[in-house]
């Protein structure tokens, strides 16, 4: 096959990405369709970047790519291409460049600040093309996004949750061995199972010598985006002290993240589903634990969670009536809060920063909303399904801890749930909230929190002494 045929096939493949096959002569023939450098221009074709939606004063998400064609419809290289926004419609960088060997020229269009339709004129000699974009009114979009949730929206999310299958399926024991838990020994099982089509990994830890159906189940829901280590449970065991041997423990990883033990790691499948599908993973693992752990006391379980895990704990308690008690440290409760709105505004302008869950929210909600990939009603449901405050009437006994100097999850998140629970008439011992002046996003900075949490969780234990033989 000669070089001309190779070139034509390459151009045909490019045609599938936006250039008509007829333009590059894919119908047959042996002539090389490429115009030598310096060839003239007869037309300019938009390859990509048209009809974007973006924030004024910021670069459009995609570069503007055009192709210059000669009179025979062949790519023309070496042609000066100019990019000129209409008055008030921002700027292009570069504003002028030469077309490459494939006839393409590229620029970045920074949109004008005024909301509405904007245009960019692309010219190559006498040939021109118009590129359109829309600048959104970001404040108006966010006002609509963060308006108070309606009863209909809350009901729609409840219906979605009810349709989800969180039963234990495809269960496999990946590892089973003895481990030390505090001052006791225990059996560790690394379990995998399938939930919503993705294989998920979690740990189940049972203290040695426990009698059948004697141990209340305690779930540990981790914070952050970096997965979880089985060794994290040692901190819980240290806090519980002598009580640590009286619980069976469940530790879910969350989809797309790792579960680690020693030098081994297991990564759960599926795209990240912060707070929302985290709950599916957690409930499914608890179902596995109840079905495969004779020592577990059936019927109820409690949850201890921090940061992201606290949000997961509260949402799990709302969706699963078996949850008896929740201890939540500095977690999100209200995604309609002004803090989340401020995050969305800053992220829409400058992109996400290092804050747990923010990359997920940016990729699945903020960017798609700005770019028109999802609608405001669709985006609002994503906020509803992460806001435990909207379903607070379904919460069991809850103990809440938060510091006033928490710059990761501000105390306004705790205050929102406190106001709602007070309006529902929920008070101690059914609902306890502790706000720590000067406390940060750290268990140890909340003076007295750990003993309070241990006392609260211990109420799920059966009366009397040790549950072990």
Residue 464 has pLDDT above 90, yes or no: no
> Contact at 8 Å (CB) between 425 and 418?
no
Nearest to 385, CA basis, from 331, 316, 320, 327: 316
Residue 469 has pLDDT above 50, yes or no: no
High-pLDDT (> 90) share of the chain, %: 87
Domain spanning 167-335+386-458: CATH superfamily: Alpha/Beta hydrolase fold, catalytic domain (3.40.50.1820)
Higher pLDDT, 7 or 197: 197
Least confident window among 19-28, 145-154, 301-310, 396-405: 19-28
In this prediction, residue 7 carries a pLDDT of 38
Main-chain phi, psi angles of 166, to 5 degrees: -115, 25
Average pLDDT of the segment spanning 305-309? 97
The model's pTM is 0.87
High-pLDDT (> 70) share of the chain, %: 90
Angle, alpha carbons 344-441-263 (nearest 5°): 100
- Neighbouring CB atoms inside 10 A of 241's CB total 11
Beta strands in 86-207 (DSSP E): 91-93, 96-98, 104-110, 116-124, 127-136, 172-181, 184-195, 198-207
Residue 26 has pLDDT above 70, yes or no: no
Going from the C-alpha of 269 to that of each of 163, 228, 294, 315, 335, the distances in angstroms are: 21, 15, 28, 21, 26
Average pLDDT of the segment spanning 46-63? 96
Residue 316 has pLDDT above 60, yes or no: yes
Look up residue 23 and give its DSSP letter.
T
- Provide CATH 3.40.50.1820 ranges for the chain: 167-335+386-458
Q: Which residues pair with 434 in a beta bridge?
A: 401
In this prediction, residue 40 carries a pLDDT of 64
Residue 412 has pLDDT above 50, yes or no: yes
In this prediction, residue 201 carries a pLDDT of 98
How far is residue 447's CA from residue 136's CA, in Å, rounded to a whole number?
A: 46
Longest dimension (CA), the chain: 92
In this prediction, residue 5 carries a pLDDT of 41
- Provide CATH 2.60.40.10 ranges for the chain: 34-136
> Contact at 8 Å (CB) between 462 and 405?
no
Render pLDDT for 212-250 as a digit per residue (tens, 0 to 9).
999 999 999 999 999 999 999 999 999 999 999 999 999
Strands 228-229 and 258-261 turn out to be: parallel
> Contact at 8 Å (CB) between 214 and 206?
no
Confidence of residue 168 (pLDDT cuts 50, 70, 90): confident
The class that CATH gives domain 34-136 is mainly beta
Token pair of 374 as six digits: 């999802």
- Neighbouring CB atoms inside 10 A of 7's CB total 15
Confidence of residue 15 (pLDDT cuts 50, 70, 90): very low
Least confident window among 39-53, 161-175, 209-223, 406-420: 39-53
Q: Which residues pair with 184 in a beta bridge?
A: 181
In this prediction, residue 25 carries a pLDDT of 34
In this prediction, residue 14 carries a pLDDT of 41
Residue 142 has pLDDT above 60, yes or no: yes
Residue 436 has pLDDT above 80, yes or no: yes
Render pLDDT for 249-286 as a digit per residue (tens, 0 to 9).
999 999 999 999 999 999 999 999 999 999 999 999 99
Average pLDDT of the segment spanning 101-118? 97
How far is residue 171's CA from residue 228's CA, in Å, rounded to a whole number?
A: 20
Higher pLDDT, 166 or 34: 166
Render pLDDT for 28-54 as a digit per residue (tens, 0 to 9).
333 233 333 344 678 999 999 999 999
């Amino acid at each position: 096959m000669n070089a001309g045929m190779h070139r034509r096939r390459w151009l045909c493949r490019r045609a599938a990405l936006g250039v008509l096959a007829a333009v590059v002569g894919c119908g047959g023939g042996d002539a090389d369709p490429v115009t030598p450098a310096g060839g003239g221009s007869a037309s300019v074709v938009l390859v990509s970047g048209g009809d974007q939606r973006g924030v004024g004063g910021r670069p459009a998400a995609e570069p503007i790519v055009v192709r210059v064609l000669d009179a025979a419809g062949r790519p023309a290289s070496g042609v000066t291409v100019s990019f000129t926004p209409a008055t008030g419609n921002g700027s292009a960088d570069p504003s002028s460049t030469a077309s490459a060997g494939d006839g393409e020229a590229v620029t970045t269009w920074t949109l004008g600040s005024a909301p509405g339709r904007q245009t960019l004129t692309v010219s190559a000699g006498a040939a021109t093309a118009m590129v359109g974009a829309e600048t959104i009114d970001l404040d108006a979009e966010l006002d609509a996004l963060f308006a108070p949730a309606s009863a209909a929206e809350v009901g729609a999310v409840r219906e979605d949750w009810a349709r989800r299958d969180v039963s234990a399926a495809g269960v496999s024991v990946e590892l089973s061995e003895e481990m030390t838990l505090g001052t006791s020994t225990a059996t560790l099982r690394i379990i995998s199972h399938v939930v919503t089509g993705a294989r998920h990994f979690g740990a189940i830890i049972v203290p040695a010598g426990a009698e059948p159906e004697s141990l209340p189940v305690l779930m540990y829901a981790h914070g952050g985006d970096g997965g979880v280590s089985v060794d994290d449970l040692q901190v819980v065991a240290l806090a519980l002290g002598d009580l640590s041997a009286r619980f069976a423990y469940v530790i879910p990883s969350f989809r797309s993240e790792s579960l680690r033990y020693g030098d081994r790691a297991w990564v759960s499948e599926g795209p990240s589903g912060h707070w929302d599908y985290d709950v599916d993973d957690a409930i499914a693992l608890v179902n596995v634990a109840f079905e495969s752990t004779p020592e577990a006391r059936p019927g109820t379980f409690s949850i201890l969670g921090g940061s992201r895990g606290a949000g997961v704990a509260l949402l799990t308690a709302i969706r699963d009536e078996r949850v008896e008690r929740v201890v939540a440290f500095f977690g999100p409760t209200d995604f309609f809060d002004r803090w989340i709105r401020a995050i969305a505004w800053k992220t829409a302008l400058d992109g996400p920063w290092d804050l747990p869950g923010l990359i997920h929210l940016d990729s699945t909600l903020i960017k798609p909303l700005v770019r028109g990939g999802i609608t405001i009603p669709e985006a609002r449901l994503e906020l509803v399904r992460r806001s435990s405050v909207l379903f607070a009437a379904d919460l069991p006994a809850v103990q809440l801890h938060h510091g006033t100097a928490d710059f990761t999850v501000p105390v306004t998140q705790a205050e929102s749930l406190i106001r709602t629970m007070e309006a529902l008439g929920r008070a101690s011992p059914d609902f306890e909230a502790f706000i720590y002046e000067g406390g940060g996003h750290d268990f140890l900075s909340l003076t007295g929190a750990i003993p309070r949490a241990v006392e609260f969780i211990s109420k799920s234990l059966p009366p009397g002494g040790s549950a072990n033989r």
